[in-house]
Structure 1
Amino acid sequence: MKKSSPIEVSGSGYAALYRFIDYAILMFVLLLSCFLYGVSFDKNYLILLLAEVLLFSYLAEGMSLYRSWRLSAFRQMIRRAVAVLVISFAIQLISLFLLKVGASYSRVIMTAWFCGSVLLMVGWRLAQRIVRKVQLEHGIHRQKVALVGLTARGIQLSQQFAEERELGFECIGFFDDRDASRMPEEYQHLLLGTVNDAVMRGQQGEFSRLYICLPMHAEARIQHIVSQLGDTTLDVYLVPDMLTLKMMQGRLSAVGDIDTISVFESPHLGLQSHFKRTFDVLFSATALVMLSPLLLLLACGVKLTSRGPVLFRQDRYGLDGKKIGVLKFRSMKVQENAELVVQATRNDPRVTWFGAFLRRTSLDELPQFINVLHGEMSVVGPRPHAVAHNEQYRNQVAFYMLRHKVKPGITGWAQVNGWRGETDTLDKMAKRVEFDLYYIRHWSLWFDIKIIVRTIFKGFSGKHVY
């Protein structure tokens, strides 16, 4: 599992320009296709264009296409741009088919519109990257930076500058007032002088950015350094060591005139919650319609192989730790929903033969699409545990309850990475929580789609599922 980088690159201010160019490409390619093919751009094509722009915009925001990208993540950005186009055009075509109005539009124009949009959106991003690399090679937009504090956090930051050369930052070294014996010996050759030296050399224009990488308990020292740097034109950044903690988002916000940093916070705020909810409703409704014959067969299988109800509702913790009733096809001869719930084990006598098949293939989870429609669950998220298990592990696994900062899911990042089924050891549960928290920190609509695809191909079974 990839670790989060210590550097979070601030927005470059180009997001609005990226949006404008992409929307312009969609309009330009459609108009050009109509012109070259000799078709009038009438109200039908205007409606089609507006629908595509809205769809593309919605998916692009939900999949974080316009977030701040490192240049080294260029391939990922391109893949995401193409994915947004593919999904938006696919939805358009399916909608035209279902509405029986596809005959009103030329297939040649639709094909040319899609292919042209892909080529231009990828092409202009590629051109922008090439220009950026040439500029950096000639020293244009390259900035020299220095760090105050030869600390573990400062060393991490300098390593990131060295690895991410295309960011355009060149780290010249460290400044620190401490005795050399208190600093890592292998990095002492990078020490350039004291904080006073940093101020003097900054005033002389030897570097344009200065990062203060001191521990938070050195508040008085940080304030003194900042007051000294007030006599320069340097861009100064504070990199507190508290950011090495497992913060859920680390988002800057404000209450009135007081700045705050979120430590634990749900990623589904503002528009992001609407993206998530819309995707959940559309996907779960489609899944229930398409899977309805299978659901009926499974219900008959449960009813014919054991006595009792078809569906079983078990109490679980949902968003913000509130209890919800999660639906499953009944796979046991008993319905356990008490304070003490024993996890199913290999050859568990409580599990029916048909229930064992349902559990191995995770088909017993399909009724949870109903929970998704009700707003109690999401298609993707941390798997909900029985209330009894929550109470057991919340005091044994660090940050366990942070799983409930988002809605529980039918599938999740932990499950597609093999951490599903029986958790007979504390280490297994800790590993599952680790993957769940990674998902919450890195959530995007694209991440959800990636997990769903992986679930289809490898997430329905596991060696610890009984």
Structure 2
Amino acid sequence: MAEVHPIFSASTVSARHAQVPLGNNMLSAVEAILDPAVLALSLWLVSASVYGELRPPYLILAVIVFSITFPGTSRLQSSVKLLIFNILYSWFWVALLLLFLGVATGYIAEFSSHALITWLWAAPLSQIGAQLALRSAAPYLLLLQGPPQRAIIVGMNEQGLALANRIHETRYSKIALSGFFDDRNPSRLHQAEHSSLLGRLRELPEFVKENRIQFIYLSLPMASQPRILHILDELKDTTASIYFVPDMFITDLIQGRSGAVCGTPVISVCESPFTGSNGIVKRASDIILSLIILTLIAPLLLLIAIAIRLDSPGPIIFKQRRYGLDGEEILVYKFRSMRVCEDGDNIRQAEKGDSRITRIGAFLRKNSLDELPQFVNVLQGRMSIVGPRPHAVAHNEIYRNLIKGYMIRHKVKPGITGWAQVNGYRGETRTLDKMQARIDHDLDYLRNWSLRLDLHIILKTVLIVLKDRAAY
């Protein structure tokens, strides 16, 4: 069955794009300091315009803002529309955090409400203006760094051509691709749109020295180890930087990254995004947000429990087996919305007009209120607030044999909401195509996870629940 790729990838939200090295220290340095500096400077200007001077509280706040936003995000490769969205989105969360800290500490009393309101809209506008100005200045900054750095690719194959296309499509790159080297006959080679075949591998060292090539990308099959070693030996008499582009990279990597095992370099092909500090950040955010949410919705939980008890006989909480982290079975809590509590080897998904659904259950499912007890599962460590939605064990056993990569979604804890759910794949999945699309979105989430993406999904879930009627 054909794979259905997400139309709107999570990478556009998480800002974790695959980048070709730009060889561009000046632009990278400017990008790192631009947003933090603009936010701090805009606050200083607001203080000067309101009070006629820079007051100490504003100076301290500017230092805090600079600290939490440094280094700035690279935005030169984004479209203008995505640039504006990312700036407004990032500023929303920074401003919300600062407001929370200000109220919690009482420090907000040191600031004029007029000054703060002015800064709330002046800061992102200043960022947008500064980023657009950087785009205009970027070509001149590139000229200051001298001519482009010349590069060649060894191996005119699929991954080599993909790298060539990426280099040519990357704006403000200091890399000038000269062409390819390959020993095969031209009739056996993939066609290169942007670059030509420069010669055979035996001609490579001389070409590199004569043309002062700075970057060499080896895009040869992993089975060609003797040939690769010979090339590396021949290139020892040059000053070029050499990079491997292994053919394994044409596969679909999940959190692909380099590392070491007992001192031996390795490259991950499929790994959980929640390792090391990422795991700590994910778990801490789950605990903090769950405690806040459960505290706020406690009266609502009590009212729902009473309504379920009065509406139909049976337990208030429905417990169902699901696959959790690493495919281990867990018990997931939900408010009971049906007259039956199915948890066997053959479970029928809920359908529109399903006679098993109670009156209060229909309301709960329509508004996703039946999922609220799962915040307790989050505190238990069985689930996360954001992650692939858990399916019934019976459904897992069916789809794991029908959809390639289905079980990879269990490399992380299941979530109350997820990337698939906020992109229209919420509720019943009648066809295999819909389930395939849901799994594709789950894997897209694993490839591109960031705390920013989680916050985006949570915010979008709240907005969707208020108007969506896809689940029943």
TM-score (norm 2): 0.83
Partner of 1:8: 19
Aligned to 2:369: 363
1:165 Cα deviation after fit: 3.5
CA distance in structure 1 between the aligned counterparts of 2:398 and 2:189, rounded to whole angstroms: 43
Letter in 2 for 1:211: Y
Please give the alpha-carbon distance, in whole angstroms, between the structure 2 residues aligned to 1:219 and 1:69.
38
* CA distance 1:2–1:112, shift in 2 (3 Å): closer
3-state SS of paired residue (1:230): helix
Give SS of 1:236's match: strand
* Structure 1 counterpart of 2:152, from 141, 146, 151: 146
- Residue 456 in structure 1 maps to residue 462 in structure 2: yes
Aligned residue number for residue 381 of structure 2: 375
Q: Which amino acid aligns with 1:318?
A: G
Tell me which of the two structures has the higher relative contact order, counting C-alpha pairs closer than 8 angstroms and 6 or more residues apart. Answer: 2
2:219 matches 1:213? yes
- TM alignment of 1:16-95, pairs within 5 A: 30=43, 33-34=46-47, 37=51, 41=55, 52=65, 56-57=68-69, 66=73, 71-72=77-78, 76=82, 79-95=85-101
CA distance in 2, matches of 1:53, 1:161: 32
- What is the letter of the counterpart of residue 465 of structure 1? A
> Mean alpha-carbon deviation: is it higher for 285-294 or for 145-154?
285-294
Which residue of the other structure, out of 163, 166, 169, is the alignment partner of 1:157? 163
Report the secondary structure of 2:260's partner residue.
strand
Q: Deviations over 1:198-218 (max 9, x none)?
A: 322211125322222222222
Are the equivalent residues in 2 in contact too, given 1:70–1:167 (CA < 8 A)? no
Equivalence for 1:226:
232
- Structure 2 CA distance for partners of 1:441 and 1:419, relative to 1, 3 Å: same
Q: Which residue of 1 aligns with 2:310?
A: 304
1:405 paired with 2:411, answer yes
* Cα distance between partner residues in 2 of 1:28 and 1:343: 56
CA distances 1:155-201 after superposition (whole Å, capped 9, x unpaired): 22222222224223232222111112211367698212112333222
Question: Residue 179 of structure 1 corresponds to which residue in structure 2?
Answer: 185
Alpha-carbon distance in structure 2 between the residues aligned to 1:139 and 1:52: 31
Aligned partner letter, 2:290: S
Distance 2:243 2:403 in 1: 34
**Contact 2:77–2:171 (Cα < 8 Å) also in 1:** no
Residue 444 (str. 1) matches residue 455 (str. 2): no
Q: Distance in 1 between matches of 2:17 and 2:63?
A: 40
3-state secondary structure, aligned to 1:413? coil
Instruction: Report the Cα offset of residue 384 of structure 1.
Output: 0.9
Q: Among 401, 417, 432, which residue is 1:395 paired with?
A: 401
- Residue 210 of structure 2 corresponds to 204
AA partner of residue 8 (structure 1): Q
Please tell me whether the aligned partners of residues 403 and 436 of structure 2 are also in contact (alpha carbons under 8 angstroms): yes
> Percent identity of the aligned residues?
40
Q: CA deviation at 1:34?
A: 4.8
Number of residue pairs aligned between Structure 1 and Structure 2: 458
Q: 1:244 to 1:6 in 2, by over 3 A?
A: farther
Partner SS, residue 210 of structure 1:
strand
Letter paired with 1:215: P
CA distance in 2, matches of 1:107, 1:130: 35
Out of 335, 338, 342, the position equivalent to 1:332 is: 338
Structure 1 residues 109, 422: CA separation in 2 closer, same or farther (over 3 Å shift)? Answer: closer
Q: Which of 242, 266, 273 is the matching residue for 1:267?
A: 273
Is the counterpart of residue 257 in structure 1 residue 263 in structure 2?
yes
Unaligned runs of 5+ in 2: 1-6
Paired with 1:32 and 1:188, the residues of 2 have a C-alpha distance of 48
Q: Is the CA contact (8 Å cut-off) linking 2:334 and 2:371 kept in structure 1?
A: yes
Name the CA distance, whole Å, in 1 between partners of 2:78 and 2:178. Answer: 21
Partner of 1:170: 176
Task: Give the match for residue 287 of structure 1.
Answer: 293
Give yes or no for contact 2:38–2:130 (8 Å, CA) kept in 1.
no
Letter in 1 for 2:109: A
Code of the residue aligned with 1:309 in structure 2: it is P
Amino acid of the residue matched to residue 271 of structure 1? Answer: S
SS in 2 for 1:167: coil
CA distance in 1, matches of 2:436, 2:46: 55
Q: Secondary structure at the match of 2:211?
A: coil
Cα deviation code 1:23-65 (max 9, x no counterpart): 55555555565566167845x66775676566x35xx79xxx5
Deviates more, 1:414-423 or 1:5-14: 5-14
More deviation, 242-251/154-163: 154-163
2:429 matched residue in structure 1? 423
TM-score, length of structure 1 as denominator length: 0.84
Q: What CA distance in whole angstroms lies between the structure 1 residues aligned with 2:31 and 2:167?
A: 25
Label 1:428 to 1:82 Cα distance change in 2 as closer, same or farther (>3 A): closer
Deviation at 1:224, TM superposition (A): 2.0
Please say which of residues 285-294 and 369-378 is displaced more in the overlay: 285-294
Q: Name the CA shift for 1:183/1:96 in 2 (closer, same or farther; >3 Å).
A: closer
